[in-house]
Structure 1
């Protein structure tokens, strides 16, 4: 038997080798994955015989992405105290109102109800003020068949004896009114005339009982037409309240943008951005109620005479630090003056300094005048910490 020629043997070897290579390439290579998914690791495939013959094929390294654990929900912290084997829930301490606390009666519609909630939160830590909510959400000055506010307010004043009355009303009054048995359209001439009379009658109840009054204006609303009508009603309220000697509080800017248009979100009493209004464009959130009350706090304390810093030492002629100073005395070298009060103790709105009549008349130039007029600083008084002047040693006598 003759051997095949060398060319035929090489051809047969190449065919067998090609078939073997094709068979090996058809078999999938096993891949080893790391079981630790907390850190991304590179996947390294096994090397086959083909890799040894023809070299390792370069592949892009596959990286396992870490699996992020879902965030855990934090449970609200509860203050608890263990008493033996049982757990007792501790409630935050509440400040009790004094028996002689001044009562502030808040009346009106659903906006007045929100205002009362905000004022309650505002004076929560003040034992000298108590908020009485007397609002009716569906009421107004148009539908007297639902609620006659002058008569109702008279009864509430006789029952509660408030020190101050706060009114907020008008959001339900954009409707026709019955005048002398005839239906009048909203904002018609007859409607305006009758509505002004009802405002005066409402205010007259507080005037007759000699009780201070705060009338709170309406804020902007999501509806442009409702906002326009609210602005018109605010003008009526302001003119009538100020004519009767009451206080009108305008809160419009706190719930509108720089153009006076409605905003749903804005800054709260701490300057933080929050949601102020509800999704209906009418109601107020908790932050919105608190912000509305913020506009009234100062006037409420002024009108009720409830001084927030009651323990502050008041300065008068008997306890001034500088003694022996009379209005007629003259000082040529000014170094100190009598202190002034940080507050207005009498709550009378006076802008005069406390005991300004005791401040002596001066003929010299104060350090302030010297700095402003000449741009110079006066020498430090002898012995003060900033007195850096060298003193000449006195020569001994003789």
Structure 2
């Protein structure tokens, strides 16, 4: 008779050591990068949220930057965010400004001044409406639509993105909306394509608004569904600007993305504590030093569940057209944020704690995540972190036991 078994304890312990080693390496590299930049604000090495989870002030400071469309957006954004307790909104707009003529108003220089004098955590930018004109490049004035014009415009978009991202600002660049004039529509699409490309390359978020203000055929319509789902006039008579209802809907597109990132930042501040008492105390102390008022303004949903995770904004669905118009309905959804996986904290010595994220495939929503087993009882935690040897039931395929003569 020959009988053999796989030593799962041995495999689990070494897998855990490998995971810890990789996490420690990533932690050390990130910590070194931060150490080299003494002027940079503190951002924990494990941060995964787009918005800094540990702002230097008690509130997030959000700047709305841009032209007359941005000015309308700024009036509606506070209501759309509904975050008066944690966000302070500042408006920095010039109606006739743009990027094509810095000799008239230089946005790159103005942003430098803002960053020098103020603390900025979030920037919502809407520029380009006034840029359908010649641009002054190194070679002289270039006509709109030429490759030389596009290259010069790319450089100016890059300059703004670079200044803001170096200052650790979370940037949201709003795309231009569809307009009534067909020629202007084609030109705005060219501007949007440049901004979308540079936002992607620069690592910032581009928010598309084009389809949100077109009809079911993709054409311009001055009327459309409001945030309540009722058809109202959304655009001004000039076919470019927005009415008050249009600004509310425009702000909702920005707010839905920002709310998700704020929820992720709050969730990251509330790191699930795991491990021994020393590990828990270290993580709690680091979080408390950055945000001592973490548990302030906890809403009723969080209080009922006792869960430290901030509530996720719900779906807001608006009808594209009323049935009375005879054109059917189409829904625009501002959907829930899907949370990341569990974070494991492991003391790696020298007052450093490595954190790794494991995202179980069966966690599809924040509600589903709260229904899962506690972290200390999860299978991967017991095997990979604690090194526990799990006994396989007799006869199961992973029992790896054979008998024979």
- The separation in 1 between residues aligned to 2:69 and 2:247, in whole angstroms, is 9
1:285 is aligned to 2:234: no
Q: 1:204 to 1:181 in 2, by over 3 A?
A: same
Q: Which runs of 5+ in 1 are unaligned?
A: 1-98, 317-341, 364-398
Aligned partner (choices 230, 236, 239) of residue 272 of structure 1: 230
Picking from 206, 212, 215, the partner of 1:248 is 206
1:212 and 2:170 correspond: yes
Equivalent residue for 1:143?
A: 101
TM-score (norm 2): 0.54
CA RMSD after TM alignment? 3.0
For residues 315-351 of structure 1, the C-alpha deviation after alignment (integer angstroms, 9 at most, x for no partner) is 59xxxxxxxxxxxxxxxxxxxxxxxxx9767799967
Specify whether residues 208 and 217 from structure 1 end up closer, same or farther in structure 2 by C-alpha distance, changes over 3 A only: same
Hey, which bits of structure 1, 4+ residues long, moved more than 6 A? 345-351, 359-363
SS of the equivalent of 1:150 reads helix
C-alpha distance in structure 2 between counterparts of 1:343 and 1:255, whole Å: 23
Q: Distance in 1 between matches of 2:133 and 2:98?
A: 10
CA displacement at 1:220 relative to structure 2: 0.4
Match of 1:123 in 2: 81
Cα distance, 1:202–1:352 mapped onto 2, change above 3 Å: farther
Q: In the alignment, does 2:114 pair up with 1:156?
A: yes
Q: CA deviation at 1:235?
A: 1.2
Alignment pair present for 1:172 and 2:172: no
Contact residue 97 and residue 104 of structure 2 kept, 8 A? yes
How has the CA–CA distance of structure 1 residues 198 and 135 changed in structure 2, closer, same or farther, with 3 Å as cutoff? Answer: same
Query: Deviation at 1:359?
Result: 6.2
- Residue 112 of structure 1 is matched in structure 2 by 70
Please, which runs of 5 or more residues in structure 2 have no aligned partner?
1-56, 268-296, 309-335, 343-356, 364-368, 380-389, 394-405
Secondary structure in 2 matching 1:162: coil
Do residues 192 (structure 1) and 150 (structure 2) align? yes
CA deviation string 1:285-330 (max 9, x = no partner):
11100100111113212334368965513559xxxxxxxxxxxxxx
Structure 1: how far apart are the matches of 2:172 and 2:222? 26
Of structures 1 and 2, the one scoring higher in RCO (CA 8 A, sep 6+) is 2
Higher Rg: 1
Contact 2:260-2:337 at 8 Å conserved across structures: no
Structure 1 pair 181–289 and aligned structure 2 pair: CA distance change class (3 A): same
Match of 1:133 in 2: 91
Aligned residue pairs, count = 240
Query: 1: CA distance between counterparts of 2:266 and 2:241?
Result: 30
The alpha carbon displacement at 1:123 in A equals 3.4
Are the equivalent residues in 2 in contact too, given 1:119–1:290 (CA < 8 A)? yes
Whole-Å separation in 2 of the counterparts to 1:188 and 1:162 = 35
Q: Deviations over 1:116-149 (max 9, x none)?
A: 1120232356321222111111110001011111
How far does residue 207 in structure 1 lie from its aligned partner after superposition? 1.5
Q: Report the CA distance shift for 1:352/1:111 in structure 2 as closer, same or farther (over 3 A).
A: farther
Matched, 1:229 2:187: yes
- So what's the TM-score if we normalise by structure 1? 0.55
Query: Whole-Å Cα distance in 1 between the matches of residues 149 and 93 of structure 2?
Result: 24
